[in-house]
Amino acid sequence: MAGSFGAESTGDEVLEGWDLGGKRALVTGVSAGLGVETARVLTAHGAKVVGTARDLAKARDATAGIANLELLEMDLASLASVRACADALLAKGDMFDLVILNAGVMACPEGKTADGFETQFGTNHLGHFVFANRIAPMLNPGARIVSVSSLAHRFSDISLDDPGFAQTPYDPWIAYGRSKTANILFAVEMDRRLRDRDIRAVAIHPGGIQTELSRHLSPEIIKSLQQRSAAPSSGSQMRVKTVPQGIATAIWAGVAADAGEVGGLYCEDCHVAVVNDVPEQREGMRSYALDPEQARALWAKSEELVGERF
């Protein structure tokens, strides 16, 4: 059922013929964009979905009409909120077959989370790091964790010595790139830790999609992103996907693809991405994002920062 899919495939096309009845999924960030469409497609194919959102009222409006969807409040920029949400799920005891770590912020002004972390690293990585680890006991054998990263991981490796830009000037795109590289390294190490339980983790790039994630982007910043992302010699511009196309890779990696072929890797356009360290190109992944030693080091640093060992 894996099929042959690509950049223009939609989530519905990936799941054509699939019956997810009896399966339970969890999706973070279901108040807009990709999160809402992901919840819609999964439930349309029979799954029961738990969705998290910082703003529950907004999420209820955005998901009105989606059946078999339960909403829970979680603000990834507050570890107290993350832990409270995870504790509520653990108390209920329902198991999951798929977790899609979708929520996040992008290229926002310099700021701090409730716990004092740089906003993008704290929200995109550390919030999901704590949440996914806390609910890991609730994953069934055969379950998958999908960490939503970005081509922006190509902008920067992580910085274990200066994760909060205390020693270097803040750059919103470097900060975003660091957090997206962290999303991939998290999947690499989580996959290593859970594969003995027949649970796999994978990172994906959804593609360039115009959603609320880009709310901080002025026309000048968007132009800057295009310049960073495109090869100067080609004059190419970023290809913008629709929201239904934007969820396809997460659905493919989380459901349709062979787990052994995607576990611990990074996928784009419904296929496993190749390593590509050419700076001027945007296809493929940087080799530093798959480095197992770097993944272990990030894990240890993350535990140190959040004050919790997993």
Domains of the chain: 11-306 (3.40.50.720)
Considering 149, 159, 229, 302, which one is annotated as catalytic?
Answer: 149
- What per-residue confidence (pLDDT) applies to 225? 52
Rounded Cα gap, residues 218 and 133, in angstroms? 35
String of DSSP letters for 36-102: HHHHHHHHHTT-EEEEEES-HHHHHHHTTT-SSEEEEE--TT-HHHHHHHHHHHHHH---EEEEEE-
| Beta bridge partners of residue 71, listed in sequence order | 51
- Residue 58 falls in the annotated catalytic set: no
- What per-residue confidence (pLDDT) applies to 68? 96
pLDDT tops 70 at residue 1: no
- 202-257 pLDDT, tens digit per residue, is 999 999 887 555 544 555 555 555 555 444 333 345 678 999 999 999 999 999 99
- Residue 214 falls in the annotated catalytic set: no
Q: Which two tokens mark 53?
A: 């959102």
Mean pLDDT, rounded, for 103-130: 98
pLDDT tops 50 at residue 300: yes
Using the structure block, give the residue that is written with the tokens 């096309």: 13
Mean pLDDT, rounded, for 57-68: 97
Considering 23, 81, 159, 180, which one is annotated as catalytic?
Answer: 180
- Residue 204 phi/psi, 5-degree rounding, is -140, 155
- Would you call 282 helix, strand, or coil by DSSP? coil
- What per-residue confidence (pLDDT) applies to 293? 98
- Residue 288 falls in the annotated catalytic set: no
> Which runs of consecutive H residues, i.e. helices, occur in the chain?
11-14, 33-44, 56-62, 79-92, 119-120, 128-135, 172-194, 219-229, 243-246, 248-251, 259-262, 292-306
Rounded Cα gap, residues 198 and 215, in angstroms? 38
Considering 23, 31, 147, 176, which one is annotated as catalytic?
Answer: 176
- 175-201 pLDDT, tens digit per residue, is 999 999 999 999 999 999 999 999 999
Mean pLDDT, rounded, for 47-60: 98
